[in-house]
Amino acid sequence: MTPPPGCPMHEPKKETPPPGCPMHKSDTPVTDKLNELNMMPNLTQDQYADQSMELPTERTISSIPKAKDADSKWEYPSPQQFYNALRRKGWETPEEHVETMVDIHNFLNEEAWNEVLKWESKFGCECKEDPYLSRFQGRPQELSPKARWHSFFGYIYLIGFFQCSGPKPFDRHDWFVNRCGEERRYVIDYYEAPEEVPGVPVFHLDIRPAIDSPEAAFFRIKEAAKEKWAQWFSSPASNQTA
């Protein structure tokens, strides 16, 4: 997946001060109580006192439903809220890049939802309801079992040699999708992929239902088998000789 260009994620990360440093203390008010739908504090649209430029406060409505009502959609954070969230975590972020970062964030979430819908189409549902994202949680510090497996045992073909060290995702989200009164958890691992065009970031999202039920395990195994079958037994016409 290639999002809009200009991502600052490839820039070297600046060192952050220790947790007790006053730099971590924000003069931007936040609500300490967590929002149970996304497990995040409610950030305001207020600017930091040392902010050098104004950031937009308009929020974009996503295509992702948050309730049975099809008109009820999740809203993406505004650039100012996104910046406030990064500052609250102690991450130094160039203000001029924040709007691009928000565009990438929104792009990846839309792609993730499209993949969730593909998975949901495989699950039977008698009520014929459309799925919706009831809540989600970011877990960037916790590797999923699959990501942990690949990071230790994955093989990367590199300059003619196999290297026993797979890449680790830079982020992880757990999405809770509700349909017909049943909640299903999806795990999303976010990876940086090799650039196809210099300076244009490419991301890979590994999206799958968590193995929380026999049904989810069945579909995970079925899809993995289909992928392996296609790899082993496909015979492209271009590889055939006369």
DSSP assignment letter at 119: H
Asked whether residue 30 is domain-assigned, the answer is no
Average pLDDT over the chain reads 78
Per the structure, the complete domain to which residue 193 belongs is given by 60-229
Kindly report each contact of residues 122-129 with a partner whose C-beta sits within 8 Å and lies 24 or more positions away, as own/partner.
122/219, 122/223, 123/179, 123/184, 123/215, 123/219, 125/179, 125/180, 126/180, 127/179, 127/180, 127/181, 129/68, 129/179, 129/180
Q: In 3D, which of 64, 62, 60, 182 has the Cα closest to residue 113?
A: 64
d(CA 133, CA 66) in angstroms, rounded, equals 5
Q: Is residue 175 part of a domain?
A: yes
Report if residue 19 sits inside a domain: no
Q: Scanning the structure block, which residue is given the tokens 């102690």? A: 90
Q: What share of the chain has pLDDT > 90, as a percent?
A: 38
Residue 174 belongs to a domain: yes
Dump pLDDT digits (tens) for 2-42: 555 444 444 433 334 333 333 333 444 444 565 666 555 67
According to the model, what pLDDT value does residue 75 have? 95
> Does residue 90 have a pLDDT over 70?
yes
Residue 195 in any domain: the answer is yes
Record the pTM.
0.72
Which structure tokens are listed for 162? 């196999």
Tell whether 11 is covered by a domain: no
Q: Tell me whether residue 87 is in a domain.
A: yes
Q: Looking at the 3D structure of the chain, how many domains does it have?
A: 1
